[in-house]
Amino acid sequence: MSLHIETPLLASRPMSLASGLDIWLKLDALQPSGSFKLRGVGAACEAYARQGKRRFVSSSGGNAGIAVAYAGRCLGLAVTVVVPETTTERARELIRQEQAEVIVHGKAWHEANALALSLLGDDDAYIHPFDDPLLWTGHATMIDEVARAGFKPDAVVLSVGGGGLFSGVCEGLERNGWGQVPVFAVETQGAASLAAAMRAQQLVALDSVNTVATSLAARQVCQRAFEWSQQRPVYSHVVSDQAALDACERFLSDHRLLVEPACGAALALGYAPSDELNRYQKVLMVVCGGVTATIDQIRQWRAAC
């Protein structure tokens, strides 16, 4: 039995009325670890456990680390997660709650990641938060579930940080024969590394990232994400932090489910569709979740925007 669960696929009446589209929600916020990350992370951890690895080492600003910690506890293996200083105390506590060791290092994820890599021993497996084929194949299972439910979307909307979810969804669409279904890749201003790469038609590293959607704060997307953006129909869309935060509050009111700003970025496009999205009718919205932000924190960020 896999570590992740099959999540509900629900029609969103409030979002459909707001947008004029037929919007369906893939509720991966309901995964045991609180985000879609468990699909890919769980698959990777199970694969490495079968290889005889005795400890998982990862670097994460939050949700990936929580997923690795959850997987390690379920599999009975030790976990060490290196987080940057920007990671909230809530996220650190959620990782510790799963009996994992938390090390705080560096001002940004790439610094935490460098330390994580230096800790690896022969019996350890490194679990990357977004750049690993095992992760993408695991994330692709959400599209398998949508296909089994008998729903074929005209378009898919999701948030992009490092590109792990995006790469997995593209893989899932491809293997279900939906290669021509467009993906709307949503980022926040200040962390739009995929948008930059698509404009330049090559991988681009941002000089810095500045967004309240810290789970999206990757200076550069993975190579596979860029390749998908060049190989299939992809629309890049960038929203403000304010729009992402507003969508979090609105989604909580509409569906009684709290997600973090990284997820709110995609939801913002559902509440206020772009001209491109308006060309499609049946829209699958990936509710990727995230548990590192509280409603009080979201409201503080909104007040400061």
DSSP secondary structure of 87-120? S-HHHHHHHHHTT-EEEE--SSHHHHHHHHHHT-
pLDDT for res 1 = 81
Report pTM.
0.96
pLDDT for res 110 = 85
pLDDT for res 4 = 98
pLDDT for res 108 = 82
Res 109 pLDDT > 90: no
SS3 content of the chain, % helix, strand, coil (to 5): 45, 15, 35
- How far is Cα 155 from Cα 171, in angstroms, rounded to an integer? 15
163: region left, alpha or beta (phi > 0 left; psi from -120 to 50 alpha): left
pLDDT for res 262 = 95
CATH among 1.20.120.530, 3.40.50.1820, 3.40.50.280, 3.40.50.1100 for 38-130: 3.40.50.1100
Rounded to whole angstroms, what are the CA distances from 251 to 28, 268, 280?
14, 9, 22
Res 61 pLDDT > 90: no
The CATH code that applies to domain 9-36+134-304 is: 3.40.50.1100
Sign of CA dihedral 160, 165, 167, 172: negative
Q: Which residues are CB-neighbours of 9 under 8 A, at least 6 positions away?
A: 24, 25, 26, 27, 145, 146, 149, 151
- The proportion of the chain whose per-residue pLDDT surpasses 90, expressed as a percent, equals 91
- The string of pLDDT tens digits covering residues 181-220 is 999 999 999 999 999 999 999 999 999 888 998 888 888 9
Domain boundaries, the chain: 9-36+134-304, 38-130
- How far is Cα 168 from Cα 185, in angstroms, rounded to an integer? 13
Q: Which residues are CB-neighbours of 114 under 8 A, at least 6 positions away?
A: 106
- How far is Cα 131 from Cα 224, in angstroms, rounded to an integer? 8
301 alpha carbon, distance to own chain's centre: 20
**Least confidently predicted of 4-18, 22-36, 72-86, 203-217:** 203-217
* Nearest partner of 259 among 26, 24, 83, 46, judged by Cα: 26
58: helix, strand or coil: strand
User: What are the start-end ranges of the H helices in the chain?
Assistant: 13-19, 37-50, 63-75, 89-97, 109-118, 133-139, 141-148, 164-175, 193-200, 223-231, 241-255, 261-271, 295-304
pLDDT for res 218 = 86
